[in-house]
Amino acid sequence: MSGDDAPAQQQNAEETKQDNKPSEEPKAESKPESPPVSSNEAAATPAATEKVPEEEQFTYRSLVLSGYGGYDKVKLQVKKGKPALKAGEVMVRVKACGLNFADLLARQGLYDRLPSPPVTPGMECSGEIEAVGEEVTDRKVSANVLGFCNLIVGDKVLVLNRCGLWQEVAVVPATHTFLIPEGMTFEEAAALPVNYITAYMMLFDFGNLRPNQSILIHSAAGRNQSP
């Protein structure tokens, strides 16, 4: 190797050394720290969602007569809000309700005892007492049982009312409720009030039927039907 070549080789070695040096990693930029939240700002933070009162959460289904006419006038609606009880009233959780000839007439506008639409029909039902209003202490039991009985939440009752019983919850005067006899189903109890009380009144009040008397019944149906 000549002396002229030595400086050139030394320069190449130094350049190679510099190329092999690890490159420095870029430093991450530091983010500015967020200022501490003051007590006033913390108080302004929305609190946990407040509980909706039970009365507002309460819903129940109801059949509503929207106008006179055919079956299409009976609408299923969901009512919101727990009904308020007045003194002497009870709330019944309906288990079964009856359909009577008078209900069909009322749907067509031919029964003047039903209030004008929109209205919930239904003259009889059965269910359980769910709540009682003030002044509800005792009720007279059905005719075949003597004495009085406290009407408390959970009692099984049949109900007779002018209307408003085609729904899951009904509020009625406590005097319109009667304890269901032991062994009677809700369906049997719901079919009892209108038909049988009507028959009883026809026989004993209007017909004045008394012991040792007999009566001729021509038909036991709501109307005569051809064979």
Token pair for residue 85?
Answer: 């009880």
Instruction: List, for residues 6-16, the tens digit of each pLDDT value.
Output: 444 555 545 54
118 upstream amide cis, omega within 30 of 0: yes
Enumerate the β-bridge partners of residue 124. Answer: 160
Identify the three-state secondary structure at position 204.
Answer: helix
Task: Measure the CA–CA gap between 179 and 54, rounded to whole angstroms.
Answer: 28
Task: Measure the CA–CA gap between 187 and 197, rounded to whole angstroms.
Answer: 16
What's the mean per-residue pLDDT of the chain? 77
pLDDT above 90 (res 79):
yes
Instruction: List, for residues 119-162, the tens digit of each pLDDT value.
Output: 999 999 999 988 888 888 754 332 333 344 555 557 889 999 99
pLDDT above 70 (res 77):
yes
Query: pTM of the full predicted structure?
Result: 0.65
User: What is the chain's alpha carbon radius of gyration, rounded to the nearest angstrom?
Assistant: 41
Q: How far is CA 127 from CA 79, 96, 124, 178, in A?
A: 19, 7, 10, 10
- Give residue 221's identity as a one-letter amino acid code: A
Widest CA span in the chain: 156
Cα first-last separation, the chain: 136
Q: How far is CA 2 from CA 5, 9, 14, 48, in A?
A: 6, 11, 19, 88
CB 217 within 8 A of CB 202: no
Token pair for residue 11?
Answer: 């320069």
For residues 56-72, give the mean pLDDT: 93
